[in-house]
Chain A
Amino acid sequence: MSNIFQQLINGLSLGSIYALMALGYTMVYGIIKLINFAHGEVYMIGAFLGYYFIQVHHLPFILALVLAMVISAFLGAVIEFLAYRPLRNSSRIAVLITAIGVSFLLQNVMIYFFGSNPRAFPQALTKKVFEFHGVQISSYQIVIIVTTVVLMLLLQFIVQKTKMGKAMRAVSVDADAARLMGINVDLTISFTFAIGSALAAAGGVLIGLYYNTINPMMGVTPGLKAFIAAVLGGIGIIPGAVIGGFSIGILETIVSALGFSLFKDAFVYAILILILLVKPSGLLGKNVKEKV
């Protein structure tokens, strides 16, 4: 029994990271119908920024986390400005291919400057392990889950209560109508990229701390899985991304625990295929008819 709870905690910690990343995918898709495949690389760069602030400048963890998020937010907006904005009126496939290009570019730039070897992430917080009835939870896992929940509440507040959040919701429904209403659509899109990138960077820093290893290719697999999480929950739907992220994390842990760790990636991709076959709109999605 305690084993099951232990695995649940493991799954929740992993799922938190997927959920943080899935939020970025979902928001960007929700607003401009783009699957931003460079998102995993923003997560990777966020991890490297966290590494840099802690290792080189010896900043406390929270400060390093916030700085990494701020710089990554800026990076996300820059990527949008340079790579996606010029293609705003192009076909969706053109933007998608550009996104893949940006993803490769960022990976290779990082490999060029930092090498492809994994490096150890500085252990900035003291690690304590708490035990209740045979179930262990480490202070790192608590930090990951708490940070994720706080960031999600913050996001919910921004989207629901602020003017910018209102603008984001308006643009996602109908960009042209929003423009007619005096909303600066380009600024709103940049803001969406910035927020998504900040969340991904937070995920990167947390995962660096949790697993103690970062490398320039670290964004690829989690990026894909977070994308699947977003699809699972219903792409474009914010609560869906959270549910999808936690589900994927827990499923992966269950598959490993049952002794099929080799198939855990295959299992996650199988879920993508299944969801696209059975309910393409995702768990929380409604089937909307195309308007004529």
Chain B
Amino acid sequence: MKKKLGLILACSGLLLLGACQKSSSSDSNTVKIGVNLELSGKVSAYGNAELEGIKLATKEINKNGGINGKKIQLVSKDNKSDTAEAASVATSLATKDKVTAIIGPATSGSTKSATPAVTRAKVPMVTPSATDDSVTLTTAGKVQDYVFRTTFQDSFQGIILANFATNKLNAKKVAIIGDNSSDYAKGLTKAFKKQYKGDIVEEVNFSSGDTDFQAILTKLKSKSFDVIYLPGYYNEAGLIIKQAREMGITQPILGADGFGDTELVKLAGTDNVNDVYYTANFSTNVDATKVSKDFVTSFKKEYNKEPSGFNALAYDSVYLIKQAIEDAKSTDPVKVKEALTKVKDFEGVTGTMSVDKEHNPKKAAVVIQLTKGVESGATVVNP
């Protein structure tokens, strides 16, 4: 028994020594940035796309002399698309690896579960793609000190879409097809209604998983309206677009980033996807800023494919952290967090952004138009 205890003590001593050595060696000439992403599991497509963007940004920064002369050292860990795992990855990055900042997770649920860990350890976390409004807020409505994001929040998309409907589509009357079963869609509807000044002639609802929309669409068809606002994910949206177009409903259909998947076109049928618009963070057809073009070129060179919104947002997250570290002139996590709250007019590939008081980026969104299932236009819309 005693022997065993001694062995355990010796082992843990060695481990501690190892850990000490590791952190002392990295302090001098590298900046450690943690990556907490969904690299396997059900949303691994998001996580892996984001890792590509992060790696590209890191490579560029290191090639151009690093941050304040220090090279970035990425500590990348997989949270397996699991909310509990996301929390433990965040803890280990913050306390064991002692990173300056963390990028990720990709989804709202995982980001929320990682929040207590980073707050306790006082390490800022920048999520590239968690859009839920409550990600940066506590339940009491206070700001989460250590949580930031580079994507827009859901309610912001509602505002953008309301402006787009009024200014670009000249919509005086709108019909809403809402999804009453997801917080995402409910938030989008609420924000849209608050911003939109015209008439809302009809509001019908479905719930996620539905496949039959004939009844609500038949009801809608007899009404007069200019535009359909359809907050929801591509699964149902694809089917609604198909059934609506086949029924002869030809008005433009407006949605949020939940449309942004190729499956939408497959479900709707290429010929039915006309006059469909949705918000996105990024489009290769429009240069939001002057760095956007360079990003597309270097991304294509690196990975031999077109960059996606996830690639772009993650890429921006690295540069945003770089900016904050340079502003703070320190790699101390708390000082970097302070600097992050003060970032103004940061030029990212997804737009020029300033961090607002709720830690959301204030930036323009891109509204993408689909014709015959392919992107036929992209407009930058300001909030």
Q: Which A residues are within 8 Å of any B CB, using their own CB?
A: 3, 6-7, 10-11, 13-14, 117-120, 123, 127, 129, 136, 138, 207, 211-213, 218, 221, 252-254, 256-257, 259, 261-262
A262-B207 in contact (CB<8A): yes
A3-B242 in contact (CB<8A): no
Q: Closest approach, in angstroms, between the C-beta of A249 and any C-beta of chain B?
A: 9
B216-A256 in contact (CB<8A): yes
Task: Report the Cα distance A262→B186, complex, angstroms.
Answer: 14
Task: Report the Cα distance A256→B215, complex, angstroms.
Answer: 6
A261-B206 in contact (CB<8A): yes
Contact of A14 among B180, B212, B235, B266 (CB under 8 A): B212
- Is B167 an interface residue, CB under 8 A from the partner? no
A138-B246 in contact (CB<8A): yes
Count of chain A to chain B residue pairs whose CB atoms are closer than 8 Å in the complex? 75
- For A3, A14, A123, A259, the residue with the greatest tally of chain B CB atoms inside 10 Å of its CB is A259
A211-B212 in contact (CB<8A): yes
> A221-B209, A256-B215, A261-B210 known; 13 other A-B pairs, CB under 8 Å?
A3-B222, A7-B218, A13-B214, A120-B266, A129-B246, A207-B211, A218-B211, A252-B212, A256-B216, A257-B216, A261-B216, A262-B180, A262-B205
**Number of residues of chain B lying within 8 A (CB) of chain A:** 28
B214-A10 in contact (CB<8A): yes
- Is B252 an interface residue, CB under 8 A from the partner? no
B246-A259 in contact (CB<8A): no
B247-A213 in contact (CB<8A): no
Residues on A with beta carbons closer than 8 Å to the beta carbon of B238: 120, 213
Contact of B181 among A117, A257, A262 (CB under 8 A): A262
Q: Which B residues are within 8 Å of any A CB, using their own CB?
A: 180-181, 204-207, 209-212, 214-216, 218-219, 222, 235, 238-239, 242, 246-248, 263, 266-269
Q: Closest approach, in angstroms, between the C-beta of A50 and any C-beta of chain B?
A: 16
B239-A213 in contact (CB<8A): yes
Task: Report the Cα distance A173→B297, complex, angstroms.
Answer: 76
Task: Report the Cα distance A261→B210, complex, angstroms.
Answer: 10
Q: Taking chain A's interface residues, is the majority helix, strand, or loop, or is none over half, making it mixed?
A: helix
B269-A212 in contact (CB<8A): yes
Q: Closest approach, in angstroms, between the C-beta of B370 and any C-beta of chain A?
A: 16
Contact of B247 among A136, A218, A256 (CB under 8 A): A136
Residues on A with beta carbons closer than 8 Å to the beta carbon of B235: 118, 213
A129-B214 in contact (CB<8A): no
Task: Report the Cα distance A212→B271, complex, angstroms.
Answer: 14
A3: nearest residue on chain B (CB-CB)?
B222
Task: Report the Cα distance A120→B211, complex, angstroms.
Answer: 12
B180: nearest residue on chain A (CB-CB)?
A262
B211-A213 in contact (CB<8A): yes
Residues on B with beta carbons closer than 8 Å to the beta carbon of A252: 212, 215
Residues on B with beta carbons closer than 8 Å to the beta carbon of A11: 215
A4: nearest residue on chain B (CB-CB)?
B218
Contact of B242 among A212, A218, A254 (CB under 8 A): A212
Q: A118-B235, A136-B247, A212-B239 are in contact. Are A253 and B214 (CB under 8 A)?
A: yes
Q: A14-B212, A117-B263 are in contact. Are A6 and B269 (CB under 8 A)?
A: no
B242-A118 in contact (CB<8A): no
Q: A118-B263, A211-B239, A261-B205 are in contact. Are A7 and B215 (CB under 8 A)?
A: yes
Q: Closest approach, in angstroms, between the C-beta of B175 and any C-beta of chain A?
A: 13
Task: Report the Cα distance A117→B215, complex, angstroms.
Answer: 25
Residues on A with beta carbons closer than 8 Å to the beta carbon of B207: 261-262
B268: nearest residue on chain A (CB-CB)?
A212
Q: Closest approach, in angstroms, between the C-beta of B223 and any C-beta of chain A?
A: 11
Residues on A with beta carbons closer than 8 Å to the beta carbon of B269: 120, 123, 212
Contact sample, A vs B, 19 pairs, CB 8 Å cutoff: A7-B215, A7-B218, A14-B214, A120-B267, A127-B246, A138-B246, A211-B212, A212-B267, A213-B235, A252-B215, A253-B214, A254-B215, A257-B215, A259-B219, A261-B204, A261-B205, A261-B215, A262-B181, A262-B206
